[in-house]
Amino acid sequence: MNRIALVLFAVLLFMGCATQETLYTWNNYEVTSYNYLKNTDEKSTQELIETYKKIIKKQQGKRGIVPPGIYADYGFLLLQTDKKEEGMAMLQKEVELYPESRVFIERILNMVKE
């Protein structure tokens, strides 16, 4: 009986170590990014868009906000797929969340407006 308790305790300890907290939730960002970088086709673009949507929808990390670059890159893909208004709105959100992005993002917004 004691042995079972000990094993359970060990398992709990192990689980405690395994769930280290991170700043952000990323879903399958890296794999879908790789696929997009490698192929840049319709399918990989759609999958990356889906990943961005998931990341924006739910954040469970310590900061509780969307990670750097996600709104902007999502906006970029929307612009690429001719969703101009929606894309520009996402770029604005990047600036709101991360003011240090202003220099770069405003440059892009001006390019899009032209």
Partner 1 sequence: MKNILIAAGLAMLFATACTPTATIKKSEAYSGMYAEKPVSILLMPPINRSTNVDAKEYFHSTLSMPIAEAGYYVIPTFLSMEILKKESAYDAELFLEAPLSKFGEVFGADLAVFTIIHKWDKSGIAAKVNVEVEYIMKSTKTNEVLFVRRGEVIYDASISTGGKGLLGALVDFTASAINTAATKYVDVARACNSYTFSDMPVGVYNLNYGKDGNDIAGLKNFKVQLNKD
> Of residues 35-74, which lie at the interface with partner 1 (CB under 8 A)?
35-38, 43-44, 47, 62-63, 67-70, 72-73
Q: How far is the CB of 2 from partner 1 (least distance, A)?
A: 30
Q: Are 73 and 49 in contact (CB under 8 A)?
A: no
Give first-to-last CA distance, the chain, whole Å: 74
Between residues 5 and 111, which has the closer beta carbon with respect to partner 1? 111
Alpha helices in the chain (DSSP H): 2-18, 29-39, 42-57, 70-80, 84-97, 102-113
The one among 8, 30, 53, 86 contacting partner 1 by CB under 8 A = 30
Between residues 6 and 11, which has the closer beta carbon with respect to partner 1? 11
CA–CA separation, 59 vs 101, rounded Å? 21
Paired tokens of 10 = 């060990």
Q: How far is the CB of 1 from partner 1 (least distance, A)?
A: 31
User: Where along the sequence are the contacts to partner 1 (CB under 8 A)?
Assistant: 18-20, 22-38, 43-44, 47, 62-63, 67-70, 72-73, 75-77, 94, 98, 100-104, 107-108
